[in-house]
Structure 1
């Protein structure tokens, strides 16, 4: 996946810059055309001449050093790249990119490029764990940048811990793996529901639940990264859609979500119902605020339409997956839901387990397909969970075709 690729290697000012020399050499040996951009501080650690000799291309440092008057260098490089790798990526470089700062050749190119960007951080263990650095990395991750985590070991500062730039071979394999995966859902239309619904009582009050929408949004973002055309139907949430390629449709009630999901269902290839839709709604609603009265107030409830059940009944070519958020006997209830609703897969979520609740950033689930093959996905970020779920769905779809 690097043969004949145009690879832009960004080298920032850390002692790990020496490893970027080996990375340049190995990429070139594997058939990539490599061009190196260095920050001024990086040039204090390694001579630009070294990268020029290894890549057989000019090395770029100064934004205003226009070697060809017919081209604007930073735009030309940004357009040229198929893949961009930042190795080493210092805390300073990560902070600049996360905040849209473009004050040198490298950061200017990064704002302009449309290529896949892989970031391999390298810094002191405490710098890596700093909340500001972690927040910047999280922001870049939601924007679609890809991180190659640093390794553990002895650091140049004398500390032992996480912060070492990964070895060149590991970086290259990570890029190859992701390049293979990023086309996994290419050409597929994916429909995902997320968040809670709100069932109106009067203009002031409504019934809802604790769903934050984070799991559904993670699924949508990871599906887009894997090349899918994504439609996200979401109830009222505070989560923003980071990837502008995702088509977002906002709804409020269970009835709204039922109508919207059915509207997009026929043209979808993969449908994942991650929303926590209300099972009941008030039988009677009021156009004006209900005033306080002495004594109690009884609200009679009626069933909402079962969205997942109806999708299962109307399924033709779609791969249909649902979530089972349970607190008691989750596996048993999940298996029953899989069969009853004619699903191709069920993702069972014990929301009572530590770290696996609605509002958090982590989750732990069990994936079960229609052949009752079970895969436990242990506690990790919701984005990592989402990616693994999507790769399992892609695998099962291929198996169905064979």
Structure 2
């Protein structure tokens, strides 16, 4: 079905799932939207798109509207090059090479070492909140934003004094992805993202001369078949880690707090047995993935779900809709941390499966139960939350809670 004038960007984020459900059940669940492309809402179709990297390219940033910039600005050029060359927007063979090198820094051994870092950061954040027990605070501001940026900064070996700077820079970097950020706001985001790239270059050069056993050190030292990451590849990888390792986890920590707060029976399971948090994180990400959509461009003429696409056609795989498809999940709207199997697509699938998924899971497993343990009477002022509507990755701006 072709939908003229349909604007997903204008729909309030909390209401989006109702729209997805209607679109999923309308006809064959495939809808062409003016100026956007063709949207797929059903699990099997979304899975197929994610599993066909040869037919559907991920290289949609460079050459797209979000890559528009002032050619006269060196920082804006650097920002666009940095974003356009992150793993998310690369195809084989460049993607294969880069992922093969970067994955060494995300081994099970590395994740185990980071657990102590996450625990230490969370303990410090909660300790700062204890004097405010009984007060209303913005959970987003004091927990969900603080923990991820401190964790990713610490494991990259960034000086603690630079945390506020990196928070501002990563927000700008994320804004570069957002098509709704236009005009002067986009120019400012590109300038700041370019500044982040410049800072990262200097950080890499310094670390090459002064090696350390942190994540950046692992990335610099990573080698496969005699090849290492170039400076440009390192910059894109670090920038993606700062943005993905903070922005997406902010969303997960907010969604997780909301789901567990609203389902006391599931919270009780977690508080009795912390091992249940592994299933809880997956269920949180199933119901509210940080990225609701991912775009692909047809590399050749191809058939999918009974529809024909020509080379260059843009398609969108709706992970958020797929994750609530009753054809795949029993009682899909129910929050059930014991759900098994739970083959959700919240971290993607195939060659572009989120390389930082284990770091996200680690933070979710530690942060959420510790917050509820420290503040057992915590209540969320749901009606006072504010949202940032975004087609791909909507998020809370504020999340007031009484602790």
Query: Which structure ranks higher in relative contact order (CA pairs < 8 Å, sequence separation ≥ 6)?
Result: 2
Q: TM-score range by the shorter chain?
A: under 0.3
TM-score by length of 2: 0.22
- Higher percent of residues as helix: 2
